[in-house]
Amino acid sequence: MGCSAGREAVQSRGTGLESVKKHIETNFNVAQNAILHILIVLVLSAVSWLAHAAEPVLRVAVLNHSPPMSYTDPAGKLTGFNVEIMHALCEAMNARCEPVSVTLERVVDAVAAGEFDFAAVSLLATPERRARVLMTRPYYRSISVWFARPGVRPGDGRVALVKGGVQYRYGTAHAWSVIPVENHDGIATALHQGTADATLLPMATALALQQDPRIRGLGLTTAVLRDPELAGDVCLSVNPRSPELADKLNEAIDLIKRDGRFDRINSRFIPFRLQ
Amino acid sequence: MDDDRSRGLEQTSGATPPVIAGERIRHWPAGTVLAGLGLVFAAIAASLVMWLAVDQRLVKDVALQLHDQTVPWTLERQRLARNLEELRFGGQSVLTAGDQGRREEAFFLIRVLAAHPSMGDDPRVAVLVAEVESFLAQIVSGASKPDMARWEALSNRLRLLADDLSVEGGQRMTVELARMTDAMNQARYKLLFNLILVGAFLASFLVILQRFLIRPLQRIHASLTTLDPHGPVPQPAPLAMAEIHVVEKAIVRFHETLRENEDVRRKLERLATTDSLTGLPNRRHFMGLAAAEMARAARYGRPITVGIADLDHFKQVNDRFGHSAGDHVLQVFAALLAETLRQTDLVCRYGGEEFAFIFPETAPEEAMRLAGRLRLRLADRPVVLADGQVLQVTVSMGLADGAGRGLEECLARADQALYEAKDRGRDRIVVVEAGHEGVLMPP
């Protein structure tokens, strides 16, 4: 009996050692697998980082508070027709883009100064702008729409205009009583608050303004001003020292207009086809 | 054989060179011909490539036009059609709006769309859109009440125009694709034609190569391998390249030289083997032939007889009538030998007025008869000298059986028999048979 108990004790000791050995082996295998996984993740991360680093990073100027072209959605994400077009173009060019919000007033100056590689801002291709920055091929054509309180005709009353826009230049050139604002959202505010009686703004932005609940009850009348200065080809502006980027953007515009990406973005933000 | 040889001699002895066919034809150097053919081929190939390039360029132009103009134009047409549909929906909203505010709101889109520059791109669109805007503007302003029938008409026109715009792009693309297909088909036919033409040119080139280069080379090969100075003169091809022609002319000259050398060789051989006075084989030549005959007879155990003859009193003929008369006698006797003896018999002028004989396949008895016939013919044919005098010439002859003996021994025995004949009074034949030496035969 005693011998038997001794054997059991020995066996028990023996079983305990094997258990420890197995435990150590198991831990070792787990550690080995963990190290392997970490190495794989590190390698993949490095590859991803290298691939990412290989892509050029383009600084892109975009507007904010200018629906439906560029605005911040309720989720806090910068979106809009021009913002999504920018993403599509960058994807087509295999480039990584970094959007930076600016005011319309600064767009041409900043691009001309090389602060940005290009601006995803709809600019009418005026000779003055062409002289300062490179312009891509037109990606649609625009017109300007007059919004005014009843009885206010162009040239009458206080006209809220976004600084830096063709409409602002037009208003100041025609000695209108201009209320300068920073962005298109400011126009709705000015009209709503009564600091302005009218405004002149681009077609697409006019569509959004018309839907703005702040001005719906104002009974504004609308008219299309057919002055050639206020209509025409809309282009993107490009750093004048990057003609090759302008070429790439032209190719990308051509591509997304062919493969349907342009029209899909168009449908998301504007009720008719931009042409 | 002698006739052939004499003909060969006549050909070579004449001063006229062999006539070479095609001598007056201009022969072009192979390098020039090949370079010329290469240039022609290159010119043809270049022309064909340019011919094909026209279609390729057309395909490229159409493809570029399709890519750069038609596809964008088609997409713009479809966008315009979509905007017409938007216009139609907007018009419907204006007409069905519950209040003036909503009506004006719906009309705002109409106004913006109608004012957009794209609506002026197509006159049909511009007219219809202006008509629609005017119709809706009157309703929005309250100038007129909604006329649904007219709106249905306008709406249908908008829909149809949108349809037309949608398919126009496809039609234009179809036309251009058809142009491209035609050009590609044409290019394919041209390519096929070009391949046939190139094939024909290569075939012609091979024919020219075969006819003017390879076949002449084969002919040269055949001429050189079968070149025979006794054969006909090789005839150069009338149409061959200059290099080939030069080689063929060289072969003709080589053949001529070979034939001249052969003639000279024959002359020398004749001089070396014949006696110049009588035309009979000389002694040296005779000894060679005789030794061969003796050996053959000994090998096969055949009978053979050796003889030596001497004209009687020939010294007196020379002394009395002169050496020319003696020479004439020798010539007459040699001619008589040629007439009398068999073709298989050998004879030569052994020296002076002595003649040696070999009678193959002939026993001494038969040789005795032959010699007797010779003696009798000589007796019947006196020699007429140049001055008309007639000489009766006789001959003494010794014969020896040659079976189983050497030539020199036989000649010595025949010579001994000849002395016996002289001693016996001349004009007679003495034969020494084997084992019966010294037996004298009566004249």
Per-residue pLDDT reduced to its tens digit, A40-82 = 666 666 655 555 555 679 999 999 999 999 999 999 999 999 9
Residue B68 lies in a domain: yes
At residue A16, the pLDDT reads 52
Domain check: are B257 and B340 in the same one?
no
**Interchain CB contact of A224 with B (< 8 Å):** yes
Q: Inter-chain contact B80–A263, Cβ cutoff 8 Å? A: no
Q: What is the pLDDT of residue A88?
A: 98
B410 and B367 co-located in one domain? yes
The residue from B256, B273, B290 where one domain ends is B273
For residue B440, tell me if it sits in a domain.
no
Q: Which of B76, B109, B112 is closest, CB to CB, to A275?
A: B76
CB contact under 8 A, B83 and A272: yes
Report DSSP state, residue B404: T
In this structure, the strands spanning A118-124 and A198-202 are: unpaired
Q: Is B156 exposed, middle or buried (0-12, 13-18, 19+ CB in 10 A)?
A: exposed
Q: How many domains is chain B built from?
A: 2
Residue pair B275/B41 in contact by the 8 Å Cβ criterion: no
Residue A20 has φ and ψ, to the nearest 5°, of -65, -40
Question: Looking at beta carbons, which residues of chain A come within 8 Å of B115?
Answer: 143, 224, 226
User: With 50 as the cut, is the pLDDT of residue A12 above it?
Assistant: no
Residues listed for chain B: 443
**Cβ pair B379, B443 in contact under 8 A:** no
Taking CB atoms and an 8 Å cutoff, what residues of chain B touch A207?
A: 108-109, 112
Record: contact B116-A203, CB cut-off 8 A: yes
**Predicted confidence band of residue B12 (pLDDT cuts 50, 70, 90):** very low
- Between CA B288 and CA B395, with CA B440 as vertex, the angle to 5 degrees is 60
Q: What are phi and psi of B431, to 5 degrees?
A: -115, 140
Of the pLDDT bands very low, low, confident and very high (cuts 50, 70, 90), residue B325 is very high
Which of B248, B273, B298 corresponds to the end of one domain?
Answer: B273
User: Strand B354-360 to strand A71-72: parallel, antiparallel, or no bridges (unpaired)?
Assistant: unpaired
Mean pLDDT for A167-173 is 97
**Cβ within 8 Å of residue B403, ≥6 positions away:** B297, B298, B301, B302, B303, B304, B434
Which amino acid is present at A70? S
Q: How far is residue B163's CA from residue B136's CA, in Å, rounded to a whole number?
A: 22
Contact state of A273 with B82 under an 8 Å Cβ cutoff: yes
Q: Does B351 lie in the same domain as B405? A: yes
For residue B77, what is the nearest residue in chain A, using CA coordinates? A275
Q: Which pLDDT belongs to residue A96?
A: 96
Query: What are the structure tokens assigned to B114, written together?
Result: 């109608």
CA distance B436 to B401: 10
Q: In this complex, do A231 and B117 lie within 8 Å of one another by their Cβ atoms? A: yes
**Which run of H or E residues covers position A272?**
none
Task: Please name the residue of chain A whose CA is at the shortest distance from the CA of residue B104.
Answer: A221
Q: Would you state the pLDDT for residue A14?
A: 46
Nearest-Cα distance to chain A for B132, in Å, is 16
Task: Determine how β-strand B346-351 pairs with β-strand B383-384.
Answer: unpaired
Contact of B287 with B407, CB cutoff 8 Å: yes
Q: Which of A183-187, A194-198, A266-270, B231-235 has the lowest mean pLDDT?
A: B231-235
Q: Quick one: B90 and B206 in the same domain?
A: yes
* Residue B390 and residue B330 share a domain: yes
Q: Which of B75, B101, B113 sits opposite A257 (nearest CB)?
A: B75
- Bridge-partner residues for B355, per DSSP? B309, B349
What value does the mean pLDDT take over residues A181-207? Answer: 95
Closest alpha carbon within chain A to B102: A216
Cβ of A258 and B108 within 8 Å?
no
Q: Is residue B44 part of a domain?
A: yes
Pair B219, B244: CB distance under 8 Å: no
What six digits make up the tokens of A91? Answer: 């994807």
Q: Which amino acid is at B321?
A: F
User: Residue B26 class from Cβ within 10 Å (0-12 exposed, 13-18 middle, 19+ buried)?
Assistant: exposed
How close, in Å, is residue A201 to chain B by CA atoms?
Answer: 12
**Which residues are paired to A238 by β-bridges?**
A118, A134
Query: Kind of pairing, strands A96-101 and A57-62?
Result: parallel
Same domain, B306 and B355: yes
Closest by Cβ to A273, choosing from B79, B111, B112: B79
CATH number of the domain that residue B342 is part of:
3.30.70.270
Q: How far apart are CA A204 and CA A122, in angstroms?
A: 10
> Are the beta carbons of A141 and B116 separated by less than 8 Å?
yes
Cβ–Cβ of B112/A275 closer than 8 Å? no
pLDDT for residue A54: 59
**Dist. CA A250–CA A238, nearest whole Å:** 11
End-to-end CA distance of chain B: 40
User: Does B438 reside within a domain?
Assistant: no
* Same domain, yes or no: B168 and B303: no
- What is the largest distance, in Å, between two alpha-carbon atoms of chain A? 118
Question: Does B441 reside within a domain?
Answer: no
Pick from A210, A223, A272: which is nearest to B113 by CB? Answer: A272
Cα separation of B220 and B206, whole Å?
19
Task: Give me A207's structure tokens.
Answer: 């569509």
- Least CB-CB distance to B115: which of A143, A232, A274? A143
Element (H, E) at B125: helix B123-141
Distance CA A241, CA A219 (A): 47
Q: Do A275 and B71 touch (CB under 8 A)?
A: no
- Judging contacts by C-beta atoms under 8 Å, the chain A residues touching residue B111 are 222-224
Does residue B433 contact residue B418 with C-beta atoms inside 8 Å? Answer: no
| pLDDT (average), residues B198-206 | 87
Q: Is the dihedral of CA A213, A215, A219, A225 positive or negative?
A: negative
Is the CB of residue B87 less than 8 Å from the CB of residue B132?
A: yes
Last residue of a domain, one of B273, B305, B340: B273
Pairing of strands A198-202, A158-162: parallel
User: How is B89-120 classified by DSSP, letter by letter?
Assistant: HHHHHHHH-SSHHHHHHHHHHHHHHHHSGGGG
Q: Which residues in chain B are contacts of A273 at CB distance < 8 A?
A: 79-80, 82-83, 86
The structure tokens 């405004």 sit at: A199
C-alpha A96/C-alpha A57 separation (Å) is 5
In angstroms, rounded to a whole number, what is the distance separating the alpha carbons of residues B350 and A39?
Answer: 123
**In a shared domain, residues B322 and B245:** no
**Can you give the pLDDT at residue B435?**
58
**What are the φ and ψ backbone dihedral angles of B131, each rounded to 5 degrees?**
-65, -40
Question: A163 to chain B nearest CA, in Å?
Answer: 23
DSSP state of A120: E
Model-level ipTM above the cut of 0.85? no
Contacts of B86 in chain A (CB under 8 A): 271-273
pLDDT over 60 at B438, yes or no? no
Q: Quick one: DSSP state of residue B390?
A: E
Summary mean pLDDT of chain B: 87
pLDDT, average across residues B279-303: 94
What's the gap in Å between the CA of B187 and the closest CA on chain A? 30
What lies within 8 Å, CB to CB, of B358 at 6+ separation is B286, B289, B290, B293, B294, B304, B305, B306, B307, B345, B346, B347, B402
Of all residues in chain B, the one with the smallest CA distance to A256 is B72
Are residues B72 and A258, on separate chains, in Cβ contact within 8 Å?
yes
- Tell me chain A's radius of gyration from C-alpha atoms: 31
CB–CB contact B108 A271 (8 Å): no
User: Are B45 and B28 contained in the same domain?
Assistant: yes
Distance from CA of A91 to the nearest CA of B (A): 21
Same domain for B415 and B384? yes
Q: Taking an 8 Å Cβ-Cβ cutoff, which residues of chain B contact chain A?
A: 71-72, 75-76, 79-80, 82-83, 86, 101, 105, 108-109, 111-113, 115-118
Q: Is the peptide bond prior to A68 cis by the omega test (within 30 degrees of 0)?
A: yes
Phi/psi at B354 (5° precision): -100, 145
Quick check: is B150 in a domain? Answer: yes
- pLDDT, residue B197, reads 87
Which residue, among B368, B350, B366, has the nearest Cα to B415 in the 3D structure? B350
Residues forming beta bridges with residue A221, ordered by sequence position: A148
- Specify the higher pLDDT residue, A12 or B347: B347
Q: Is the pLDDT of residue A35 over 80?
A: no
Chain B residues whose CB is inside 8 A of the A258 CB are: 71-72, 75
Mark yes or no for CB contact B117/A224 under 8 Å. Answer: no
Does the residue B205 lie in any domain? Answer: yes
Tell me what the pLDDT averaged over chain A comes to: 88
> pLDDT tens across B235-246, in order?
877 777 888 888
CB distance A64 to A78 below 8 Å: yes
d(CA B79, CA A122): 19
Select the more confidently predicted residue: B319 or A35. Answer: B319
- Given CB atoms, is A141 within the 8 Å cutoff of chain B? yes
Q: Has residue B306 been placed in a domain?
A: yes
Do residues B406 and B290 both lie within one domain? yes
How far away is chain A from the Cα of B184, in angstroms, using its nearest Cα?
A: 25
Q: Which two tokens stand for residue B357?
A: 């004989």
A219: left (phi over 0), alpha (psi -120 to 50) or beta: left
Q: In the Cβ-directed half-sphere of A15, how many Cα atoms lie within 13 Å?
A: 6
Q: Tell me, what amino acid is at B313?
A: H
At A271, is the pLDDT very low, low, confident or very high (cuts 50, 70, 90)? very high
Question: In the structure encoding, which two tokens stand for residue A101, read together?
Answer: 């919000």
In whole angstroms, how far apart are CA B142 and each of A94, B99, B253, B382? 55, 12, 122, 170
B266 plus B232 within the same structural domain = yes
In whole angstroms, how far apart are CA B246 and each of B28, B236, B250, B253, B303?
A: 11, 9, 6, 10, 59
Tokens coding A243: 């003609």
Query: How many Cα atoms sit within 13 Å of B241 on the Cβ side?
Result: 18
B114 → chain A, closest CA residue? A224
Residue of B nearest to A203 (CA): B112
A275 to chain B, any CB pair closer than 8 A? The answer is yes
Which pLDDT score is estimated for A11?
46
Contact status, residue A67 vs residue A188, Cβ threshold 8 Å: no
Q: Which domain holds residue B285?
A: 278-432
Check B109 against A272: CB less than 8 A apart. yes
For chain B, say whether A214 makes contact (Cβ under 8 Å). Answer: no
- Per the DSSP assignment, residues forming a β-bridge with A148 are A198, A221
Lowest-pLDDT range, A133-142, B31-40, B303-312? B31-40
Cβ of residue A213 closer than 8 Å to a chain B Cβ: no
**Is A77 at the interface with chain B, CB within 8 A?**
no
